[in-house]
């Protein structure tokens, strides 16, 4: 079905820039970039999927069943996303909040052209009918002049607005704390939207600036028709490699400092903070429970608990949970059984999602969903869509959301400050 060609690159980083610039004219683009972040479970430095040969686009009704049929029928590389609102396909839930973005709930495509980069090695996997284009495309990309004279990031400067005021945010956190005190939930992720209407942006430029600021291991540029995702996500949702499943939830965030001594102290404080650790442990327990639904008995393990990792903008507390998928469980079922991810919902999960729907004012859509890919043999890797800008170019609507875990130990003012910290990179590239 595909023709594969392999090349050794003299300047891998330069080629990455050339490749992304070359891809701009395609209608469907999925660019996944690790930014050379050293991580134990990484397969590729970057992947680029271009041009839809086939695609599936649907709302949440029977979405996972449709995706399973699509993935098992194509038995090829497919790239796409799962929106948060697929929760309504899994449980008796609904999403009735404000939605100006209008993204489909699920969208995957089978690319015509695929590029895999690892170190100085490039693999190009083209559909057989396009195999005569491989050599010409490679040479065209290699000889492309990288242009620094990008057009302005924005064509206009409609200001970024908060969907809810700080006063309303504090009140809503107070209501969530009342639910916790009553025993309805232990923890819930509460999010707020920042947006601009009648705003035109240059999505490639904004993504490149966001990526330069953040340099995360799960950066994504996604273009599907008029829908764009510009993501600087640091978080892996779920990866399948053979029989092994890996989930790496993040709970716990602290700022970076340019002073190395102070920065080390901030990281140490995060690693010992009882509130942040308790948040993380609660989500680890939730992930273990989710994985146990589709794992071989006794195979669910916590490989790493509450370890602090440092990124350009923030320190993050990350745990790693692994499991062996049980015999006969289809790949898509592993996603369905664990979706939405615990770090973006809460515990107990269903109660938390109901309260989230009540208190938040915006439909989450792709935010706090997942973007990733399936391989021909059914392996997959998906991120968590956070630290991300969503853009509908037809509606000229730009949006990003941020949130945090609310627990019994939460301070409303501090939670609001953490939201602003998480929003800083997105706000900067849009202002």
Active site residues: 235, 251
Pick left, alpha or beta for residue 58 (phi over 0 → left; psi -120 to 50 → alpha; otherwise beta).
beta
Structural contact between residues 249 and 283, judged by C-beta atoms closer than 8 angstroms? yes
Nearest to 46 by CA among 146, 145, 114: 114
Nearest to 249 by CA among 153, 129, 384, 158: 384
The two structure tokens encoding residue 20: 């992304």
d(CA 33, CA 251): 22
d(CA 45, CA 386): 20
Structural contact between residues 346 and 186, judged by C-beta atoms closer than 8 angstroms? yes
d(CA 426, CA 420): 10
Strand-pair category, 218-224 with 370-374: unpaired
User: How far is CA 85 from each of CA 70, 345, 355, 367, rounded to the nearest angstrom?
Assistant: 20, 12, 14, 10
The two structure tokens encoding residue 8: 């050794």
d(CA 240, CA 234): 18
d(CA 378, CA 380): 6
Residue with tokens 């919902």: 345
Pick left, alpha or beta for residue 133 (phi over 0 → left; psi -120 to 50 → alpha; otherwise beta).
alpha
Nearest to 279 by CA among 236, 233, 316, 322: 316
| Sign of the dihedral defined by the CA atoms of residues 350, 351, 354, 360, in that order | negative
Nearest to 16 by CA among 153, 235, 195, 208: 208
d(CA 231, CA 90): 26
Nearest to 430 by CA among 194, 101, 136, 97: 194
Note the Cα 424 to chain centre separation in Å: 17
Structural contact between residues 314 and 421, judged by C-beta atoms closer than 8 angstroms? yes
């Amino acid at each position: 079905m595909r023709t594969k060609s392999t090349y050794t690159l003299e300047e891998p980083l330069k080629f990455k820039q050339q490749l992304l610039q070359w891809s701009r004219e395609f209608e469907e683009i999925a660019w996944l970039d690790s930014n050379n972040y050293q991580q134990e479970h990484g397969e590729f430095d970057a992947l680029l999927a271009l041009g839809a040969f086939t695609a599936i686009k649907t709302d949440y009704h029977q979405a996972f069943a449709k995706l399973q049929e699509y993935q098992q029928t194509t038995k090829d590389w497919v790239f796409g996303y799962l929106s948060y609102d697929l929760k309504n396909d899994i449980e008796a839930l609904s999403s009735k909040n404000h939605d100006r973005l209008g993204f489909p709930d699920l969208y995957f495509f089978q690319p015509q052209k695929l590029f895999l980069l690892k170190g100085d090695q490039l693999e190009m996997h083209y559909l057989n009918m396009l195999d005569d284009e491989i050599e010409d495309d490679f040479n065209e990309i290699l000889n492309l002049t990288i242009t620094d004279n990008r057009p302005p990031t924005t064509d206009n400067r409609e200001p970024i607005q908060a969907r809810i005021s700080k006063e309303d945010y504090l009140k809503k956190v107070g209501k969530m704390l009342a639910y916790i005190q009553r025993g309805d939930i232990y923890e819930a992720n509460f999010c707020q939207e920042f947006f601009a209407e009648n705003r035109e942006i240059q999505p490639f430029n904004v993504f490149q600036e966001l990526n330069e600021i953040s340099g995360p291991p799960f950066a994504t540029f996604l273009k599907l028709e008029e829908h764009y995702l510009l993501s600087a996500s640091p978080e892996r949702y779920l990866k399948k490699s053979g029989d092994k499943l890996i989930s790496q939830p993040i709970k716990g965030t602290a700022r970076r400092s340019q002073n190395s001594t102070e920065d080390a102290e901030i990281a140490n404080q995060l690693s010992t903070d009882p509130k942040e650790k308790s948040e993380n442990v609660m989500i680890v327990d939730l992930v273990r429970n989710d994985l146990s639904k589709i794992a071989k008995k006794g195979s669910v393990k916590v490989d790493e608990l509450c370890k602090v990792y440092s990124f350009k903008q923030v320190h993050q507390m990350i745990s790693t949970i692994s499991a062996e998928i049980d015999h006969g469980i289809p790949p898509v079922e592993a996603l369905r059984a664990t979706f939405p991810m615990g770090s973006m919902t809460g515990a107990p999960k269903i109660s938390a999602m109901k309260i989230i729907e009540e208190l938040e004012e915006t439909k989450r859509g792709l935010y706090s969903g997942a973007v990733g890919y399936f391989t021909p043999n059914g392996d997959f890797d998906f991120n968590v869509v956070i630290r991300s800008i969503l853009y509908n170019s037809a509606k000229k609507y730009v949006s990003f959301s941020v949130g945090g875990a609310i627990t019994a130990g939460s301070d409303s003012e501090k939670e609001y400050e953490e939201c602003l910290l998480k929003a800083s990179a997105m706000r900067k590239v849009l202002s």
